[in-house]
Amino acid sequence: MEHFTDIDPREMKIGVVGAGSWGTALAHLLSTKGFAVDLWVFEAEIAEQVRETRENRVFLPGVRLPEKLVPSNDIEQVVAGKPLVLVVVPSHVMRQTAGRLAECLDVRSIVVSASKGIENETHLTMSGVLRQVVPNLGGDRIAVLSGPSFAKEVARQVPTAVTAASEDRATADFVQRVFAAPFFRVYAHEDVIGVELGGAVKNVIAIAAGIVDGLGLGLNTRAALITRGLAEIRRLGAKMGANPRTFSGLAGVGDLILTCTGDLSRNHTVGKKLGQGKKLSQILSEMTMVAEGVRTAKSVYNLSRKLDVEMPISHEIYRILYEEEAPKVALKRLMTRDLKAEMDEDREATENA
């Protein structure tokens, strides 16, 4: 199907749907490159704030937003006729947002998802939800953007590298050119499901890493947790048809390391407070932004049981979050599991995928 990839990127208008920290940071990136960017903002007061002060003080304070970035509460105005539409909303509202996109999206538009999560009810990734809801949105018009990238650091133009993946290499290359900047290096990729799984499941492992830190355990523990967490992501990916090599890249181990060790990680913060003894309800009530790993933990737990994929760390995080299991009890259960060879379970998972 014909789409907009033949347009000179410098002449494009871009619609960004979602004005949280990551959506605002990416809109800032694109507008500083010279693109005219319309930003859909859910909250009317934040849209007005951006218009008047050129700053999103709720989700990305301290960053001045260029005049080429225009906030709006009208999603049709933001999306209609745009060659490229970037969707950056929490995973639990992706389906509702996709329904609104379906009403105004141009049949030639490229849609890029920078949202990370797995839907609870369907176990679809975010590109899967988009394809299911938006009519005629095929793989050649969808891309995903993922990798180790905290919004505040991207907004400060700290050197960052990410991955843009699409089933269609021309689309991946197009998205790569649109987002690439001297401080923002973008690699093209074709493994959409692998890139999305890496970006989603790492948030669950990041909660575990936060618990480790909250309990006051050592660097040994954290290193083991990250390594075995990566093995779980790889096993699930193999079962779902991902390329195992993807998880050695930016969207896999890169994003996992960042989210498990960085102080800016919301998911790590949730885990740390759990390890310190706080209740999940209290932690979430004190947060402005969404910690995707909390919902994704439920999806991963149910999906891994459905597919018969061994993910002991992820299962313990589910029990801590949803069954009020004590972190120390979960840790003891993980450490006293049956002994086994390190690589045998991963080889078996790959061979049976």
Q: What is the DSSP string of 245-284?
A: GGGGSIIIIIHHHHHHH-TT-HHHHHHHHHHTT--HHHHH
- The pLDDT value recorded for residue 116 is 97
Mean pLDDT for 308-333 is: 97
pLDDT above 70: residue 345: no
State what percent of residues in the chain have pLDDT above 90.
92
Please enumerate in sequence order all residues whose Cβ is within 8 A of that of 6, keeping only pairs 6 or more positions apart, or say none. Answer: none
Domain with CATH 1.10.1040.10 in the chain: 200-352
pLDDT of residue 89 exceeding 50, the answer is yes
In CATH, the number for domain 4-190 is 3.40.50.720
CATH of region 200-352: 1.10.1040.10
Q: Which letter, b or e, does each residue of 49-66 get, where b requires 16 or more Cβ atoms within 10 Å of its Cβ?
A: bbeeeeebebbbeebebb
Assess whether 202 carries a catalytic annotation.
yes
pLDDT at 160 over 60: yes
Identify the pLDDT of residue 349: 54
Q: How far is CA 186 from the centre of its chain?
A: 16
Q: What is the pTM of this model?
A: 0.94
Question: What pLDDT score does 343 carry?
Answer: 82
Domain with CATH 3.40.50.720 in the chain: 4-190
Residues 116, 202, 239, 272: which is the catalytic one? Answer: 202
**Using DSSP, how many helices (H) and how many strands (E) does the chain show?**
16, 8
Confidence of residue 289 (pLDDT cuts 50, 70, 90): confident
Across the range 191-213, mean pLDDT stands at 98
Q: What angle in degrees, to the nearest 10, is found between the helix axes of 192-214 and 126-133?
A: 140
pLDDT in the model for residue 1: 36
Residues 163-182, mean pLDDT to the nearest whole number: 97
Provide the pLDDT for residue 199.
98
Mean pLDDT to the nearest integer, 59-80: 97
What confidence score (pLDDT) does residue 279 get? 95
HEC sequence for 328-351: HHHHHHHHCCCCCCCCHHHHHHHH
Arithmetic mean of pLDDT, 95-105: 96
Region 148-163 average pLDDT: 98
* E strands in the chain: 13-17, 36-40, 69-72, 84-87, 110-113, 142-146, 160-165, 184-189
The pLDDT, as a whole number, for residue 123 is 98
* Residues 88-98, mean pLDDT to the nearest whole number: 97
Which pLDDT belongs to residue 348?
53
Residue 295 has pLDDT above 60, yes or no: yes
Q: What is the pLDDT of residue 130?
A: 98
Arithmetic mean of pLDDT over the chain: 94
Does position 352 have pLDDT exceeding 70, yes or no? Answer: no
Mean pLDDT confidence for 267-271 = 97
- 8 Å CB contact between 227 and 266: no
